[in-house]
Amino acid sequence: MRRFFRTVSGIAAFAGLAVLTIAETAPPARAQGGQTTATKRSYKDNGEYDLFSQAFKDAQNPAAQIKDLETWAQRYPASDYKDVRTGMLVQAYGALNPPQPAKVLEYAAQLMSKDLKTVFDDPQDGKRQTLQFFYATAIAVGYAGSTLLPNPTDAQVELGRTAAKRLKEEGAAFFASANKPAGVSDADWAKSHATIDAAADHALLALIIYPAEAVTNKTPRVPAECKNIAEPAYRQALADYPGNSYVSYQLAQALQCQLKESPEKVFQAIYEYQRAAVLDPTLGGVQKDATVVPKYADKVYVAIHGSTDGLDDLKALVKQSALPPDGFKIKTANEVALEKEAEFAKSNPELALWMSIKAALTDPADPNYFEEKLKDTQGPRLKGVVVEGACRAKEITVAFPMPGQTGALTPEVKLKFEAALTGKPEPNTEIAFEGAVATAFTKDPFLLTLEIEKAKVEGLKITPCTPAVTKKAAPAPKKQ
């Protein structure tokens, strides 16, 4: 899922930047002539002109250009082109592979305090060069928290933030439709402007979350750091960039890190996982497999709720805001089960009572429940179904089927009477009884024996016993 700074390379390589490929303006053909710019400059001698010219020629080879520029700086430290040279170093260090963002920021800091109109003062290319300067600086600070710029200083953070904001402002002016070159399509012009904005936003976002990234990238994560560093940073980032699915995902990670100490945060984590999955499951291109985040988000939801019930409603809800509404909560699987039990007990009170008795009798944690708590006690009102009973017997067996249950019934209770029945009990008849006294119990097979007066059993149907069929003796043979 990491790292956020990887998207910097994607921004820098965006094809739309073809219209913004900016090299320093070629040096004037005359070695010591002044430039037609707002700031009058001239070369000290032909040697300085040659160094400037060589640095310009090596623009496509950043390492060689840096060497040229450093040689120029050593030989002509007080050059009229000192600031121009510094701007070229900003570009060159940013163009290295890998880039050196700390160096970019070091040289950018030397120019940020100046009036850039006097630095990039070419009448034709000055605005474009200024934009490129801010772009290179923003790209550099966008590496905050990465191995290329792991711990930016306060000065670098402030410099980068200023550059990114200026980049958005300058970009809006530069890419006005009236400024579009004749050979550039509207689509490419808009695409390049979008890339400029993306670079600025990435830099500003990186400066907010890089301390949080250091926390969530740890193995194992430290809950206190997740709470005090990562969570606040990601929340701030979502306030500024509510549509960023990567930040939602990372906030969920920071919340999940705290569950041992703050289990209630699991609901906010689920919300943010789902928001990331719904808005952009690639997390802005960080996650290549777009199925990973949605699958994980759904898995976490089911783990807490117990099923996918309500998941579609949650997916619709997360689209409405970056953070969950106040009091947001998802019913846990235990809460759902308790609700179902309560509904079942309300609709089937006698059956629910029997199920609680049976659960207590079979609870391995309380093997002496019958002897110590149930034996010789009168039971509550129960309803069951007669399974069988012999003609004129003193006992019947009873089952307690679930609503809608079909098939053969398994006896669970033996009801014993003080006197024999007057006939045969009809099977599959529902009966109700109350006050039966528990006298015996076997776990395997499960059977609870209860003694009760026959008069206390409601609904018991008795049919006359079928008389036994006796065979008549064969008549004696007649005497002949």
Mark whether 296 and 354 lie in a shared domain. Answer: no
Q: State residue 84's pLDDT score.
A: 94
DSSP 8-state secondary structure symbol assigned to residue 227: I
Q: State residue 14's pLDDT score.
A: 36
Mark whether 313 and 176 lie in a shared domain. Answer: yes
Mark whether 291 and 404 lie in a shared domain. Answer: no
Mark whether 170 and 311 lie in a shared domain. Answer: yes
Q: Which domain holds residue 376?
A: 348-463
Q: Which of 55, 62, 57 is nearest to 79 (CA)?
A: 55
Alpha helices (H) along 362-475:
369
- Within a domain: 191: yes
Q: State residue 18's pLDDT score.
A: 35
Other C-beta atoms lying within 10 Å of the C-beta of residue 252:
28
Q: State residue 263's pLDDT score.
A: 96
Q: Which of 430, 428, 437 is nearest to 380 (CA)?
A: 437
Mark whether 308 and 227 lie in a shared domain. Answer: yes
Query: From CA 64, how far away is CA 43, in angstroms rounded?
Result: 22
Q: State residue 418's pLDDT score.
A: 94
Which position has the token pair 């996918």?
A: 308
Q: State residue 40's pLDDT score.
A: 80
The CA–CA distances, whole Å, from 161 to 139, 188, 271, 333 equal 11, 27, 30, 46
- Within a domain: 372: yes
Mark whether 365 and 256 lie in a shared domain. Answer: no
Mark whether 287 and 400 lie in a shared domain. Answer: no
Query: From CA 183, how far away is CA 180, in angstroms rounded?
Result: 8
Mark whether 305 and 384 lie in a shared domain. Answer: no
Query: From CA 359, how far away is CA 448, in angstroms rounded?
Result: 13
Phi-psi category of 327—alpha, beta or left, where left has phi over 0 and alpha has psi -120 to 50? left
The residue out of 300, 317, 334 marking a domain boundary is 317
The residue out of 317, 339, 362 marking a domain boundary is 317
- Within a domain: 468: no
CA diameter of the chain: 167
Mark whether 310 and 395 lie in a shared domain. Answer: no
Query: From CA 445, how far away is CA 60, in angstroms rounded?
Result: 87
Kindly report the CATH number assigned to the domain that includes residue 450: 2.40.50
Which position has the token pair 């939602």?
A: 248
Q: What is the mean pLDDT of each run of 10 residues along the chain (480 residues)?
A: 50 40 50 52 94 95 97 96 96 96 97 92 90 97 95 96 97 95 94 96 97 95 98 98 97 97 97 98 95 97 97 98 96 93 93 95 95 95 96 96 93 96 95 96 96 95 80 63
261 burial (CB, 10 Å; 0-12 / 13-18 / 19+) is exposed
- Within a domain: 296: yes
Strands 437-443 and 424-425: unpaired
- Within a domain: 78: yes
Instruction: Decide: 211 and 229 in contact? Cβ < 8 Å.
Output: yes
Mark whether 157 and 12 lie in a shared domain. Answer: yes
Torsions phi, psi for 141 (to 5 deg)? -75, -20
Mark whether 158 and 271 lie in a shared domain. Answer: yes
Overall number of domains in the chain = 2
Query: From CA 2, how far away is CA 395, in angstroms rounded?
Result: 72
- Within a domain: 329: no
SS3 297: helix
Mark whether 279 and 376 lie in a shared domain. Answer: no
What DSSP letter does each residue of 40-72 carry, written as one string?
Answer: ----SSHHHHHHHHHHHHGGG-HHHHHHHHHHH
DSSP 8-state secondary structure symbol assigned to residue 420: -
Q: State residue 30's pLDDT score.
A: 45
Query: From CA 415, how far away is CA 68, in angstroms rounded?
Result: 104
